[in-house]
Chain A
Amino acid sequence: MNIFRFAGDMTHLISVLVLLLKIYATKSCSGISLKTQELYALVFLARYLDLFTDFISVYNTVMKIVFIMSSLSIVWCMRMHPMVRRSYDKELDTFRHYFLIAGCLLGALLVHEKFTFQEIFWAFSLYLEAVAILPQLVLLQRSGNVDNLTGQYVFFLGAYRALYILNWIYRYFTEKHFGRWISCISGLVQTALYGDFFYYYFISWKNNAKLQLPA
């Protein structure tokens, strides 16, 4: 464990807590893409298949459970909770995310570390996480003004993977057998997709103005 990875995990945890706060405090999920939340639930379920078979550490197991439970509960809330589901921007959240799932599954079948069930789902989860934010970014552009908590949620979600890139650089230089090209390349693509969001987020923070993404 290094400081970059720990900071990345904490930033990821903060993004989840900010989203839970927004939904429970405002009893609303306006501006949140259900499709991105479903993709993230799939990412965690596909990546943490080894939850019960490989014990790494208490921290690792606890965080995996937190991420799985929180992503599933957010999806459940947005679909089933009587008050929250009413505020879902159904007509704006129209990204065809099934194509993302199919594309990543195909990609994982073609490019993986080893042709085993667990490795293929692991690669699938990394490719899917790289593009999972797309429906959310499209929704932000369509819904015009972005409320603070939603903006902070997306910001922390993007920042966590950027910190993981620093972690991979650190591990590359400090560990002999460190070659995780699938993680690194997926992580770079993922962080790049946040590029323009980060730019407009910084502008809004500098001008102390409302976050506005150009349509």
Chain B
Amino acid sequence: DQLANPKDEL
């Protein structure tokens, strides 16, 4: 399933 939003961006 879709990964939870990867918060790897600023």
Contact = CB atoms under 8 A, between A and B. Distances in A.
A126 to B, nearest CB: 10
A54 B7 contact: yes
Nearest to A44: B10
A179 B7 CA distance: 12
Interface string A135-155: 000000000000000000000
Main DSSP-derived SS at the B contact region: loop
Interface in A177-208: 177, 179-180, 183
A114 B9 contact: no
Interface stretch (A26-34, A59-67, A77-85, A99-107): A59-67
A50 B5 contact: no
Main DSSP-derived SS at the A contact region: helix
Interface residues of A, number: 20
Interface string B1-10: 0111101111
Contacts of A63: 10
B10 A60 contact: yes
B7 A177 contact: no
Contact of A5 (B3, B4, B5, B9): B9
A38 interface: no
Given A63-B10, A113-B4, 18 more contacts: A5-B9, A9-B10, A12-B10, A54-B7, A56-B7, A56-B8, A60-B8, A60-B10, A64-B10, A67-B10, A113-B5, A114-B4, A119-B5, A122-B5, A167-B9, A177-B2, A179-B2, A180-B5
25 contacts: A5-B9, A9-B10, A12-B10, A50-B7, A54-B7, A56-B7, A56-B8, A60-B8, A60-B10, A63-B10, A64-B10, A67-B10, A113-B4, A113-B5, A114-B4, A119-B5, A122-B5, A122-B7, A164-B9, A167-B9, A177-B2, A177-B3, A179-B2, A180-B5, A183-B9
